Structure 1
C-alpha cells in the first residue's frame, strides 16, 4: 500500500511538472520579443552615451583644426624642394607625420557625430588642396594666398627663414585653438588631443625660434 501511494505521488508530481512546463511554454510564445530583448547583450552605458559626450566647442575645434593642419602639411611639403637646411627639412617632415594622423582622427569624430568633415579647399590647380579660398574667419595663424605664393617662390636660406617665420605664427594659432578647446570642450579625446597639440607645437615654436637665431 505504501509503495502504491509513493508511486501515485510521483506520477502526480510528474504530471504537475509537465503541465507547468506547457503553461510556461505557452506564456513564452506570447512574450518572446520581450524575452529575447532581455536576453540580448546590452552595450555598456558608456558606449551608448559616447556620442553625446561632445559639445559645440568640440565640433568647432575639429572643424577648424582640420584645415589648419592641412595648411601646415602643404607648407611643409614645400620644404623638401625649397629648403636648404637639413634641420628645416626634418622639422617639416615631423610636422607632416604628426598632423596627418590627427586629421584622420578628427575626421572620424565628426563622422561619428554626424557633423560635416571639412573638405580640401578648392582653387589651386583643381587639386582641392588650396587653403586660400574660404578660410574660416577669425581662424588664428592661417596664411593668405599672397603669403603662400610668395613662400613658393623662395628657395635656400630665404625659404628657410620665411618658412620658419610663417610656421611659428601658424603654430601659435594652433596653440590658441587648442587652449580654447581645453578650456571649453567636453569630449575627453578632443581635449587630450588639444593638450598634445599645445605641448608639441609650443616645443616646435621654441625650436624654430632657435633656428632663426631668436633664442
Structure 2
C-alpha cells in the first residue's frame, strides 16, 4: 500500500491535520536546521553584535515557532496515523529549544521579545490558541 492509496481513505480533517504537520516539519527542517560543529560560530553570534534585522527576525520567529507547536499539538486529538503523530512529536521537541534560543538572544540584546506594532504604540504579542 502506498501513501497515495492510504490518503484516499482519510477524512478531509485528517488530511488537513496531516498536511499541517508535514508542512510544519518541512519548515522546521529547512528554516531552522543545522548540525553540530558546523554552526558553532552561528550559535555564538546570538550574544555578539546585532542589528535591527536580527532583532526583527528573532521577534517574528518566536510566534512562527509557537504556531508550529500549536499545529503539532492538534495532531494528538485528531490524527490516527502513527507517522503523523511521530512527526508532530519531533516538531514539539524541536520548537521549544528554538523559542528559548530566540528569546535568549533578545534578552542578551536587551530587546523586547514581541515585535512593535505598525503604529509603534506597544509590542504585538503572539496570538495564543484556545485551551
For the aligned pair, the TM-score class normalised by the smaller chain equals 0.5 to 0.7
Q: Find the counterpart in structure 2 of residue 51 from structure 1.
A: 6
For 1:212 and 1:173, locate their aligned partners in 2 and report how far apart those are by CA, in whole Å.
Answer: 19
Superposed CA offset, 1:38-89 (max 9, x none): xxxxxxxxx58x827855444112333555567778877xxxxxxxx93388
Tell me: higher relative CO, structure 1 or 2? Use CA pairs within 8 A at least 6 residues apart: 2
For structure 2, the 5+ residue unaligned runs are: 33-40, 114-131
Q: 1:72 to 1:195 in 2, by over 3 A?
A: closer
Task: Give the SS at the match of 1:212.
Answer: helix
CA–CA distance in structure 2, aligned partners of residues 188 and 68 of structure 1? 16
- Taking the TM superposition and a 5 Å limit, the aligned residue runs for 1:30-45 are none
Residue matched to 2:100: 206
For structure 1, the residue ranges without an aligned partner over 5 or more in a row are 1-46, 77-84, 91-155
CA distance in 2, matches of 1:175, 1:192: 14
Q: Which residue of 1 aligns with 2:78?
A: 184
The residue number in structure 2 matching 1:86 is 42
Q: Which has the higher helix share?
A: 1
Number of equivalent positions: 95
Moved over 4 A (4+): 52-55, 65-76
Are the aligned partners of 2:25 and 2:91 in contact in 1 as well (CA < 8 Å)?
no
| TM-score normalized with structure 1 length | 0.35
The TM-score with structure 2 as length reference comes to 0.54
Q: Distance in 2 between matches of 1:74 and 1:89?
A: 20
- Whose radius of gyration is greater, 1 or 2? 1
Question: Structure 1 residues 89 and 60, CA, compared in 2 at 3 Å: closer, same or farther?
Answer: farther
Aligned to 1:4: none
